[in-house]
């Protein structure tokens, strides 16, 4: 047997799960496979100190299994801190289904996935995410009670996307207040990247306030429809990151703030709905801080969705959902001010609050 000395950066090649940087001390990872339905899914449970791990299911046509695993690990970790910084009695989890939601998603596949969720006996509670609809959650509910975001007609809180968008809107206004001295967005140029369910609703809020909204998306059909509905300008340039706008709102997939883009960004504020916007939290968060760009932590301002579905567990009404989501404004402003005082990144300031809440509960549990 030949032993080789590996560089630390190459450890992932022989330790594809525990050796991943994104593993980050996950409690449990479940790989789900079903030949008959074609289901290939991964459930990540990051932390359950505050409560059961709640997080949506994303269906995406990943390039490979490694990409899917890395995505679910990063997303589930984000859910832990999202619930903690928002003050919810929930842990962090997430699931990904590998495949094309438009062509490969079937009722049978969704029910089989629900059976895997059920096998975890409530340690993980699923919900809607990219590639999913409320009707899919209704199918999952047929085989397990451990699902949220089901139709209001079935006793659920319904589609979380509008509430997510409202939270992002509140967080954006708070970031504008911090940077510009006013939270009035009238006349501000705002580039919204990704106009799915959440992005479109955000465009609606911004348009009604009188902002100059520019939209970008991979779907030309979506661009035309949203532009027509709200009068938004379609971005036709070649490099949106270099666009001279006041606010950049990433609302598609994550890691758009990376080595290639972070020094191009001309916006003075970044506030969007996408998860894991910073490809490297320390490096890219630090660069934004040094450049004077205000970054509203994504796991804080996009927490409206989890607040919405948590209502099904905590049994509070729509008015309370909106009140809690509106409070994202205050929390964001507090964290931005805290980061400024302590000369740390805004992302680190938000993480500090989340981790402190988790540690406090851990001490309570150990008494």
Catalytic residues: 94
CB 140 within 8 A of CB 118: no
Distance CA 163, CA 8 (A): 42
Listed residue (203, 268, 195) closest to 232, CA to CA: 203
Tokens of 299: 């796991």
Which residue is associated with the tokens 């980050």?
24
Distance CA 297, CA 318 (A): 25
For the chain, what percentages of helix, strand and coil (3-state, to nearest 5) are there? Answer: 45, 15, 35
Which strands form 189-193's sheet, in the order they lie side by side?
A: 233-234, 212-216, 189-193, 247-250, 269-270, 294-295
Distance CA 189, CA 185 (A): 8
Buried b (16+ CB within 10 A) or exposed e, 5-16: eeeeeeebeeee
Distance CA 271, CA 185 (A): 13
Task: Give the start-end residues of each E strand in the chain.
Answer: 28-34, 39-47, 53-60, 91-98, 124-128, 189-193, 212-216, 233-234, 247-250, 269-270, 294-295
Write the CB contacts of 92 (distance below 8 Å, at least 6 apart in sequence).
45, 46, 47, 53, 54, 55, 76, 77, 78, 79, 80, 81, 82, 83, 84
CB atoms within 10 A of CB 21: 12
- Report the helix count and the strand count for the chain, using DSSP H and E: 12, 11
Q: What is the DSSP letter of 361?
A: H
């Amino acid at each position: 047997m030949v032993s080789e000395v590996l560089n630390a950066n190459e450890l992932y090649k022989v330790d594809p799960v525990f050796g991943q940087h994104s593993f980050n001390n996950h409690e449990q990872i479940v790989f789900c496979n079903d030949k008959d339905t074609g289901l290939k899914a991964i459930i990540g449970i990051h932390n359950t100190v505050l409560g059961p791990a709640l997080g949506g299911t994303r269906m995406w046509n990943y390039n490979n299994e490694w990409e899917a695993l890395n995505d679910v690990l990063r997303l589930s970790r984000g859910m832990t801190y999202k619930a903690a910084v928002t003050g919810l009695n929930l842990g962090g989890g997430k699931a990904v289904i590998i495949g094309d939601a438009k062509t490969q998603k079937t009722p049978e596949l969704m029910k089989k996935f629900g059976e895997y969720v059920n096998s975890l006996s409530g340690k993980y509670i699923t919900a809607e995410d990219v590639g999913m609809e409320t009707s899919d959650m209704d199918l999952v509910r047929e085989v397990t009670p451990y699902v949220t975001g089901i139709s209001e007609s079935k006793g659920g809180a319904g589609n979380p996307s509008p509430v997510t968008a409202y939270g992002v809107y509140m967080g954006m206004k708070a970031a504008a207040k911090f940077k510009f001295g006013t939270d009035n967005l009238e006349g501000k140029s705002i580039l919204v990247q990704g106009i799915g369910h959440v992005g479109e609703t955000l465009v609606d809020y911004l348009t009604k306030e009188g902002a100059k909204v520019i939209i970008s998306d991979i779907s030309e059909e979506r661009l035309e429809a949203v532009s027509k509905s709200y009068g938004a300008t379609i971005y036709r340039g070649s490099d949106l990151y270099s666009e001279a706008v006041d606010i950049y709102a990433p609302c598609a997939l994550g890691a758009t703030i990376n080595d290639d883009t972070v020094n191009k960004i001309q916006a003075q504020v970044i506030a969007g709905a996408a998860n894991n916007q910073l490809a490297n939290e320390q490096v890219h968060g630090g660069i934004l801080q040094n450049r004077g760009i205000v970054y509203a932590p994504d796991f804080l301002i996009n927490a409206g969705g989890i607040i919405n579905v948590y209502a099904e567990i905590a049994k509070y009404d729509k008015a309370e959902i909106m009140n809690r989501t509106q409070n994202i404004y205050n929390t964001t402003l507090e964290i931005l001010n805290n980061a400024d005082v302590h000369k740390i990144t805004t992302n680190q300031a938000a993480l500090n609050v989340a981790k402190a809440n988790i540690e406090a509960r851990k001490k309570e549990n150990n008494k």
